[in-house]
Amino acid sequence: MIADVFAGVGMRAIARRLPELIAEHAPDLIVVNAENAADGTGTSARQAGELLEGGADVLTGGNHSLKRNDFHAVLRDDPRVLRPANLAARAPGRGLAIVDTVVGPVAVINIMGSIFVEAAQGPFEIIDDLVAEALRATPFVFVDLHAEATSEKVALARYLDGRVSAVCGTHTHVQTADERVFAGGTAYISDLGMTGPHDSVIGVKTSIIVNRFLTGASSRFEPADNEVLVQGALITCDDTGRATAIERISVPG
């Protein structure tokens, strides 16, 4: 599972490094969070195509999923491209994908937190139905939880322990060091991090954000371009869908 791809610098980094990561780890499924791929906010139809052609099996999103109008058709038409299931009920797209792999079908759920982000429904209100639908197709269920509050992420993962293979947080762009496998066999990490420039303030040029805090003046966000990393996690499961290991990934882009 690959962390939020940030702007063109992140797109270039994943294009360079994903083939090497595939050769090294031979994953059966690659999930990429793409909600910041377009200049730091949203995803374009072109970028979605590039990521899928470059090796991603499923794209997930977040609070910026509906930012780019040309991406709405991709959300409607391509079942491999997700947005959080708890966006507005009439939003284009879906929050659950079931894809065929060499080990059989695998499910990916994309859901958003409700603390400090705007979700139409809380994740706890709809997650049971999503998981039940996924489990009817496969024991391998991976959840991208796009959320701000660590407490909400941990609580949802604990609630799902034993029912899903993994719950991996996205959104904060800061990779956490709390990866573990819970007692029921669910792998967890609070945040996968960011595929993008880390000599920055969560992807944006430092001077812009510091000036905003100092003066209160807003200006256009510009992606930084230094200290580029590709981040995420490698999750290993047994034949029952239970996780046996989770390993952080953070490599130069």
Give the phi and the psi of residue 234 in degrees, each rounded to 5. -105, 125
196 forms beta bridges with 229
169 forms beta bridges with 145
Dist CA 37 CA 45 (whole Å): 11
Q: Could you tell me the two tokens for 137?
A: 């197709």
Which position has the token pair 């910041």? 36
Dist CA 152 CA 15 (whole Å): 32
Active site residue 64: yes
Stated length of the chain: 253
In terms of Cα–Cα distance, which of 98, 149, 99, 103 is closest to 122?
149
Q: Could you tell me the two tokens for 16?
A: 């360079």
Dist CA 51 CA 5 (whole Å): 10
CB 14 within 8 A of CB 228: no
User: Cβ contacts of residue 211 below 8 Å, gap of 6+?
Assistant: 217, 219
Residue tagged active-site, from 64, 146, 171, 198? 64
- Give the residue numbers annotated as catalytic, written as ranges: 64
